[in-house]
């Protein structure tokens, strides 16, 4: 073969090989195409009936959908600022911080139903909670928590009473609601949120799928 023809043949082969390699570099392989495909969005937790309410926030009375806490273990407690049980705010905040990373949230609902022991307005309550006990868990506007009382009851507490057969008899009654809203434990005012019996129910619901 003539030397020039040989060089042309060699150059042509090299060019063809380069084209093939270039095409393979950009052609999406099945594995690469799968990796490039966006991961499917994780569906939001379904909101259980017990959380399908909107409540005004304590600080500014801005409506808050309780469905934002769907999928969490929710501790619901009726609070008061001038009660013998008021120091439980400290335990509630500890509980919220300790178990928050595992999916628990404490929700506080001030009420003057028992002994008139809550302050008169939401601004005063918010100031007391934040400056006296450094409360950081969500708090909601003052309301009535007694189903069948003279004032229109908070619908969340009415639903919790219907589910458990237990109504608050004093300030700092606590309900623990499971992630799916089906299982609910009730604890009276004299049970501190860090009491072993209370924590046992918290752990049980946190561990439930």
What separation in angstroms does the CA of 60 have from each of 54, 96, 123, 183?
A: 14, 22, 8, 31
Domains of the chain, earliest start first: 49-207 (3.40.30.10)
d(CA 190, CA 170): 9
Structure confidence at residue 43 (pLDDT): 45
Share of the chain above pLDDT 70, in %: 78
Query: For the chain, how are helix, strand and coil distributed in percent, rounded to 5?
Result: 40, 15, 45
What separation in angstroms does the CA of 101 have from each of 51, 111, 119, 138?
A: 20, 28, 32, 15
User: Active-site residue 67, yes or no?
Assistant: no
Q: Using one digit for the tens of pLDDT, what is the confidence trace for 111-152?
A: 999 999 999 999 999 999 999 999 999 999 999 999 876 788
Residue 96, phi then psi, degrees to nearest 5:
-65, -40
CA-based nearest residue to 170, from 151, 187, 195: 187
d(CA 143, CA 149): 12
Average pLDDT over residues 49-63: 97
Q: Considering 47, 67, 83, 129, which one is annotated as catalytic?
A: 83
Q: Which residues of 4-31 are buried (b: 16+ CB within 10 A; e: fewer)?
A: eeeeeeeeeeeeeeeeeeeeeeeeeeee
Average pLDDT over residues 78-95: 98
d(CA 113, CA 49): 25
- What mean pLDDT is reported for the chain? 85
């Amino acid at each position: 073969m003539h030397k020039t023809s040989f060089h042309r043949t060699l150059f042509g082969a090299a060019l063809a090989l380069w084209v093939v390699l270039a095409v393979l570099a950009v052609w999406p392989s099945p594995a690469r195409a799968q990796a490039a495909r966006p991961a499917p969005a994780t569906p939001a937790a379904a909101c259980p009936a017990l959380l399908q309410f909107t409540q005004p926030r304590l600080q500014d009375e801005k409506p808050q959908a309780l469905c934002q806490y769907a999928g969490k273990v929710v501790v619901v407690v009726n609070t008061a600022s001038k009660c013998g049980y008021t120091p439980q705010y400290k335990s509630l905040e500890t509980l919220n911080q300790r178990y928050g990373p595992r999916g628990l949230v404490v929700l506080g609902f001030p009420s003057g139903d028992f002994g008139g022991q809550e302050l008169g307005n939401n601004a005063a309550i918010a100031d007391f909670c934040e400056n006296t006990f450094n409360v950081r868990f969500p708090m909601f506007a003052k309301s009535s928590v007694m189903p069948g009382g003279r004032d229109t009851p908070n619908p969340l507490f009415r639903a919790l009473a219907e589910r458990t057969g237990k109504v608050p008899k004093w300030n700092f009654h606590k309900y623990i609601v499971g992630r799916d809203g089906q299982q609910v434990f009730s604890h009276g005012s004299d049970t501190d949120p860090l009491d072993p019996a209370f924590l046992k129910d918290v752990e049980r619901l946190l561990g439930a799928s």
